[in-house]
Amino acid sequence: MPTPTDLRDRFGADAFNRVVAELKAFGWRPDISVEEIGAPQRIAPYGFALEAELGASDEERGSGRLILLHDPAGNDTWDGQWRLVTLVRAGTDTDIVTDPLISEVAWSWLIEALGECDAAFTAPAGTVTTVTSRSFGSMSTEADRDEIEIRASWTPLIADPSDIIGHLGAWQQLMCQAAGMPPLPDKVTPIRANLSVTGTR
């Protein structure tokens, strides 16, 4: 007879795999390249991770990483069984980097994107960092670079596997706003990423 732990593991794997299936079927913007990468294995029993490159190959605008974590037993820090963790980096303008309100504005991009995409969530946390890099010596010919970096995590409220879709849309919107990418015309059809590997446990 299965023990409670066996049942929890079995149902946890089933719920996780159904959410990952929805994630793999998501339609991304054609100018965002998404692929699966290795997920952390010590933070939670189940994990799945994506990496995104923004813009065309000859005009890279930024990058992002998204990790989906699941613990069937729940996690007090997360205030739930699921957690999304992201790191977004994008080149930007000097005027934006030096704006004293950019941190608050960039954080609002995430919160507003979650709301606009009807992605229910709780327990958001994160940081916003702006960096100006100047090269010297043998690298002095390289142009100055201004970047914005957003590290964030939140607990998606998932009652049905399809609930993850709104969170993916919000993540995509956050990355595009950070990189200054305009909305796509309505006639442009999203594409499905080539994600063929199952999430890790």
Give CA–CA dist 113/115, Å, rounded: 5
pTM more than 0.85: no
What is the residue-level pLDDT of the chain in tens, covering all 201 positions? Answer: 444 444 345 457 899 999 999 999 999 999 999 999 999 888 999 999 999 999 866 677 899 999 999 999 999 999 999 999 999 998 877 677 677 788 899 999 999 999 999 999 999 999 998 887 666 766 666 766 788 999 999 999 999 999 999 999 999 999 999 998 888 766 555 555 555 433 344
